[in-house]
Structure formats: C-alpha cells, structure tokens
Amino acid sequence: MSEPAADAARAGGDAADPFASGESGIVAGVRANVRTRLQDAALDALRVARLEPWRLHRAAAAAPPRRRVLVLGIERTDRANLMAAARAELRRSRHDVEIATTDVGGRGKWENLNALLAGHPADGHDWLMVIDDDVALPHGFLDDFLFLAERFDLRLAQPAHRRRSHAAWRVTRRRPRSVVRETGFVEIGPISAFHSSTFSTLLPFPDLVAGWGLDAHWAALAHARGWRTGVVDATPIRHVVRPIADSYRRDDALAEARAFLAERPHVTAAEAQRTTATHRGWA
C-alpha cells in the first residue's frame, strides 16, 4: 500500500527528527478508500479461508488464565466518538476488566492518564491498556489480543491497523499470513498495552501533552531490558482519525518531543520500522 505523503503527520517531523515516521498515514480520497477497502476485504477473506477467527476465539477461551486488565482512555465528550462501543466490546471479555475514562478537560493526554492512574492504580493488574476514543475494535478483541500477546511473551503490544485506518507507522499495518510480529517498537496510540512487568519502569507516564517521541523512548528501554514488543496482526483495528493535532499545535508537539528525547535513550524511525520475527500461527 502506498502511504500518503507526509504533511501534518501525527508522528511527523523533518530530517532533524530521527524519532519521527515522516509519514501521514491518513487514508483520504475516494481512490484510497476504495483501494484499502478491497485490501481489507482480501485480508479478511484470507483469514476466513484459514478458519483463523474461529480457531483463535476457541484458543483464547481457554488461555491465558483469567487476567485483571485496567483500561484507561481519554474521551472528547464535545465530539462524537467511539468510546461507548469500545467499552461494550471490552466488557464482553472473559477477563476481569476495569475501564476508566476522563474528558480532556484542557489537559494533555499523558497528564490525564496519570490523573486516571492516581485514582485507578495499575498495581494488582496483569495488563494496562491505553485506548483512544476514535478506534473501532473487532469482535472478541480483548480475549484474542491477550491470548496472542502472552503466547509470544510480548511486554509492550498493540493491535495492527487495518489498511483502511489512520496509521503513521507502516510497521503497524496488518500483514497477510501473520498473527503476531515482533517489531522495533509499539506506538503511543491509538491502543497501547503494557504487561505488569513494565509498570515499575514505565509508570507513571511522563507529564507530556502530546507525547510524540515517547514510544521511541519506550522502545529503547524495552531493548535494554530484553522485553519483546510487537504488533498483533490477528486483531486488526480501524483508527477513525480526527483532524491531526486538533487539540494542540503541531509545532508545540514537536518541540515537546525534542526536549523530552534530548537526554533520553530512544530508537530512530528506521529502527522502529523493523519487523524482527513473524509468527504465522500459535500452535
């Protein structure tokens, strides 16, 4: 798939910002929407031909043991969003799921997440999941996702994007004949999942507004600690993007990222885009 040219990209910067993808990833226009719909239909059909959805649901019904999952989200209550549908889907899980959301309230995403963590501590949970309010989840999402994340010992994980989804990083788009890929990093959104073994290192989050570049720092920490990070292709989501940076200025977000990463280890975009292993099944 040919990605749109870089413009006001969520993870975009310039040549002086090696942490940025430099791509927009926005699927816009009639031709792009038709093309990506056809691509998703073909990939969905391939999964069905392999009986993958049914086999995965059956496997996820038995493993892992029931987990405690904390889900935190920031909700734009002044605009239409998909958080209610996401809550309903997450609550269908057989796992013990606690969901806490808050309105933006004039604060940055990561400031809001830390406020949520203060009232809903991650300690005692097996997983923490951070979710945006403009993401469409597939049926059976959480059970299937956790099964595969634990099957391949991922400590930082995210679902793949469908082809018709906003995704600033090519490595996060779903791939054919893959259920999980071990990758160079996991992005800051729209869904990021953290295993409990990462809590003492990554929580609380830095008090950032936009948080651009934070995922590049996470990736460096993961590499140093030997954590596996990856993208779950078998549970693809659709990110229904709003206008980019509509709640903050892009230049401010880039300046924040440059200052944050100036004295912190981080991977480059080239390192982040790597797929180091592809798993085509889970048996």
59-68 tens-digit pLDDT = 999 999 999 9
Average pLDDT over residues 240-256: 72
The answer as to whether 1 is a domain residue is no
The answer as to whether 24 is a domain residue is no
pLDDT band for 248, please (50, 70, 90 cuts).
low
The answer as to whether 48 is a domain residue is yes
Domain region containing 256: 30-279
Q: Is 233 helix (H, G, I), strand (E, B) or coil?
A: strand
**In the predicted structure, residue 76 carries a pLDDT above the cut 70:** yes
What pLDDT sits at residue 88? Answer: 98
Q: How far is CA 40 from CA 63, 243, 249, in A?
A: 28, 23, 33
The answer as to whether 105 is a domain residue is yes
- In this structure, what are the phi and psi dihedrals at residue 130, rounded to the nearest 5 degrees? -110, 130
Beta pairing, strands 228-239 & 180-183: antiparallel
The two structure tokens encoding residue 73: 């989200």
Of 28-37, 186-195, 237-246, where does mean pLDDT reach its minimum? 237-246
What pLDDT sits at residue 32? Answer: 81
**In the predicted structure, residue 164 carries a pLDDT above the cut 90:** no
Higher pLDDT, 83 or 246: 83
Q: Is 226 helix (H, G, I), strand (E, B) or coil?
A: coil
Average pLDDT over residues 38-55: 96
The answer as to whether 25 is a domain residue is no
**In the predicted structure, residue 170 carries a pLDDT above the cut 90:** yes
Report d(CA 63, CA 57) in Å as an integer. Answer: 10
Mean pLDDT for the chain overall? 90
- In this structure, what are the phi and psi dihedrals at residue 40, rounded to the nearest 5 degrees? -65, -40
What pLDDT sits at residue 14? Answer: 54
Rg over alpha carbons for the chain, rounded to the nearest Å, is: 18
The answer as to whether 128 is a domain residue is yes
Q: How many domains, the chain?
A: 1
The answer as to whether 267 is a domain residue is yes
The answer as to whether 4 is a domain residue is no
Label residue 130 exposed, middle or buried (CB < 10 Å: 0-12, 13-18, 19+): buried
Report d(CA 204, CA 211) in Å as an integer. Answer: 13
Report d(CA 51, CA 262) in Å as an integer. Answer: 48
The two structure tokens encoding residue 38: 């056809």
Name every residue whose Cβ is closer than 8 Å to that of residue 161 and which is 6 or more positions away in sequence.
167, 172, 173, 174, 236, 237, 238, 239
pLDDT in tens, 183-221: 999 999 999 999 999 999 999 999 999 999 999 999 999
Q: Are 46 and 64 in contact (CB under 8 A)?
A: no
For the entire predicted model, the pTM comes to: 0.91
Average pLDDT over residues 146-168: 96
3-state secondary structure 124-152: CCCEEEEECCCEECCCCHHHHHHHHHHHC
CATH of the domain at 218: 3.90.550.40
